[in-house]
Chains A and B, each alone.
Chain A
Amino acid sequence: DTGVSQNPRHKITKRGQNVTFRCDPISEHNRLYWYRQTLGQGPEFLTYFQNEAQLEKSRLLSDRFSAERPKGSFSTLEIQRTEQGDSAMYLCASNLGEGSYGYTFGSGTRLTVV
């Protein structure tokens, strides 16, 4: 593994469309995190998984957002009925598990809603 991989790198979509992003963590990492970063701000926590279990969700994660990690490996983040306010960089990170100190981030998916 060379790191956390995210696809696509960029996504432009029309308002109202659904989009899905994928994150492939480092293979031995049990925990996977999603963050959102808007222009000029630090990353904000959205949700995280321990293997396939979703352990915590932020209030930022409205009912239009859903995240899955079906086999405890890769994860997907889907946004339904996109709005212009969803335009942001979506970052994925992983680490070895509870109490682990190192978080490795992917390069992110930049979403633009027009």
Chain B
Amino acid sequence: GIQVEQSPPDLILQEGANSTLRCNFSDSVNNLQWFHQNPWGQLINLFYIPSGTKQNGRLSATTVATERYSLLYISSSQTTDSGVYFCAVRSYNTDKLIFGTGTRLQVFP
């Protein structure tokens, strides 16, 4: 099955810093989503981005489907950005999302 790898596994930032999270996947996909999991376990959808670039406030994401990777950019980080960020993909022969192992982000004041 498709493999999804995320890096770095852990990231510690001071408030105001910028960061880039990466997601690599091993096969063609027709769906890619970035999620933020808050301390209570809720998965919040950030972006649906199988290709191209999107921006939402301080967050933006870029997926280069031909090279099988996606990047999530967080600018001017805030303590509320802390949590685990997951990339999840869906390949063409299935309807289920496959998740990466996540990047744990801690933002300190």
A25 at the interface (CB under 8 A from B): no
A107 at the interface (CB under 8 A from B): yes
Contact status A108-B96, CB under 8 Å: no
Partner of B40, one of A31, A40, A107: A107
Expressed in whole angstroms, the minimum distance between the Cβ of A50 and any Cβ of chain B is 8
A42 at the interface (CB under 8 A from B): yes
B99 at the interface (CB under 8 A from A): yes
Expressed in whole angstroms, the minimum distance between the Cβ of A7 and any Cβ of chain B is 14
B41 proximity list for chain A (CB < 8 A): 37, 89, 91, 107-108, 110
A interface secondary structure, majority: strand
Q: What residue of chain A has the Cβ atom nearest to residue B9's Cβ?
A: A40
Partner of B43, one of A40, A91, A110: A91
Partner of B99, one of A40, A43, A101, A108: A43
Can you list the 3 inter-chain pairs with the closest CB atoms, starting with the nearest? Answer: A42-B99, A105-B43, A45-B96
* Residues of A participating in the B interface, judged by any CB pair closer than 8 Å: 31, 33, 35, 37, 40-45, 48, 55-56, 89, 91, 93, 98, 101-105, 107-108, 110
